[in-house]
Structure 1
Amino acid sequence: MPKISAPTVVEHRKRKRDALLAAATELLVSGGVSAVTPAAVGAAVGLSRPSVYQYFKSAADILAAITEDSFARSNAQLLAALEGLSDPLKVMDAYVRETLRQAAAGAHRPATALSEAELPDECRARVAELHHEQIAPFMSALRQLNVPDLMITAQLLGGMLEAAMRAIESGSDPDAVARTTIALVHAAVRPQE
């Protein structure tokens, strides 16, 4: 019987699964979807391929777990950053700051790798659903501000936010990018005179 590296078997299995998921995420970010195989993920943490199947049924199952895990962590951090805010401009400011903080920390790299991959339709649909949940506070703030052409404005601001994330990932100062992005968001949602 293999030794467990935790106080309980349940905790041991959770730690192993978390380690497999972390390794799979790194493989995804560095090598794309094709790099995420049960054999490669197992090798990254010192487990055999058959052992990986105790935690995940297939490579697709691993990718699904990465999707759920990365969005769940990101969304929880966003909600914490927005907690207690009701003013729509303050919500948008906090949303932008937290999104860009996560970009600086590399938290969006798994989602970017997944969005660029050829995924099964059900996986693409789940990524879209999770992204919709993620942008819900931003959309709600835009609605509260009663911006004209809501969907067009949202798409344009989303594009600006993506450009800001790319700027940070390319080495730009996160604080400067956040200040500029927030100023541009304010200019875009200010009532027209």
Structure 2
Amino acid sequence: MPKIAAATLAEHQAAQRRALVAAAMETLLADGAAAITPAAVGRRAGLARSSVYQYFPSTAALVAAVIEEAFPPWDTALAAALDGVEAPAARIDAYVEATLRLTAEGRHRAAGALLNADLPPEVRRRLAELHRATTEPLSRAVRELGVPDPDLTARLLGGLLSAAMAAIEGGADAEVTVRRVKAMLAGELGG
């Protein structure tokens, strides 16, 4: 009988699962999504590959667990930044600033690596669903602002944010990037 490292078997299993997801996240950040395999993740977590299958029946299930872990901290930080901000233009401003600051903190790396990965269709669908939920506060604020063609405007704004995030991840100064994006938006959205 294997030893358990917790008061109960359920607690031990929960801890093992968390360790595997953490190891998969580390693998993603170090080597990319393609490197997430039961063998690699098990090795990083100190478990045999066969033990990984007790918690995740496939590589896709392991990647899906990483996706589910990657988005909630980001969404929580965005919600905090938007809390109490009523005016649509001010919400856009707060969303942009929070997004770019979170990116500067390195908190977009996991999601960014996943967005660019070759993933199974069901995993890609879930990733798209979580990404849409993350961007919905921005889209809603743009719609409430009353600009012409708000869906197109929100998509274009998303493109600007993606470019700004890539610039920050590539070494651009976060403060300068935040100011530049806000200036561009003020001119276009009248904010």
User: C-alpha distance in 1, partners of 2:18/2:188?
Assistant: 41
User: C-alpha distance in 1, partners of 2:76/2:11?
Assistant: 22
After TM superposition, the structure 1 = structure 2 runs for residues 81-100 of structure 1, keeping only pairs within 5 Å, are 81-100=81-100
User: C-alpha distance in 1, partners of 2:82/2:25?
Assistant: 27
Q: Which amino acid aligns with 1:106?
A: G
The 4+ residue runs of structure 1 with deviation greater than 6 A are none
Structure 1 residue 39, shift from structure 2 partner: 0.8
Q: Which amino acid aligns with 1:117?
A: A
**What per-residue deviation string (whole Å, max 9, x for no partner) do you get for residues 131-166 of structure 1?**
111111101110111011212211221111111111
User: C-alpha distance in 1, partners of 2:7/2:52?
Assistant: 21
Gaps of 5+ in 1: none
Establish whether residue 61 from structure 1 lines up as the match of residue 61 from structure 2.
yes
**What per-residue deviation string (whole Å, max 9, x for no partner) do you get for residues 18-60 of structure 1?**
2211221121233223210111001001111111122211110
Q: Which amino acid aligns with 2:14?
A: K
SS in 2 for 1:176: helix
Cα RMSD over matched residues? 1.8
User: C-alpha distance in 1, partners of 2:105/2:48?
Assistant: 31
Structure 1 residue 7, shift from structure 2 partner: 4.5
After TM superposition, the structure 1 = structure 2 runs for residues 1-193 of structure 1, keeping only pairs within 5 Å, are 1-190=1-190
Question: Relative to structure 1, is the Cα distance of residues 90 and 59 closer, same or farther in structure 2, using a 3 angstrom cutoff?
Answer: same
**What per-residue deviation string (whole Å, max 9, x for no partner) do you get for residues 159-187 of structure 1?**
11111111111122212211221221222
User: More deviation in 133-142 or 109-118?
Assistant: 109-118
Question: Relative to structure 1, is the Cα distance of residues 12 and 176 closer, same or farther in structure 2, using a 3 angstrom cutoff?
Answer: farther
**Aligned residues, how many?**
191
Task: State the identity as a percent.
Answer: 49
Gaps of 5+ in 2: none
Question: Relative to structure 1, is the Cα distance of residues 11 and 78 closer, same or farther in structure 2, using a 3 angstrom cutoff?
Answer: farther
Question: Relative to structure 1, is the Cα distance of residues 94 and 11 closer, same or farther in structure 2, using a 3 angstrom cutoff?
Answer: farther
Q: Which amino acid aligns with 1:99?
A: T
User: C-alpha distance in 2, partners of 1:3/1:176?
Assistant: 53
**What per-residue deviation string (whole Å, max 9, x for no partner) do you get for residues 59-112 of structure 1?**
100111111111122112211221122111221122112111221122222222
User: C-alpha distance in 1, partners of 2:41/2:75?
Assistant: 25
User: C-alpha distance in 1, partners of 2:43/2:37?
Assistant: 10
Question: Relative to structure 1, is the Cα distance of residues 22 and 105 closer, same or farther in structure 2, using a 3 angstrom cutoff?
Answer: farther
User: More deviation in 40-49 or 163-172?
Assistant: 163-172
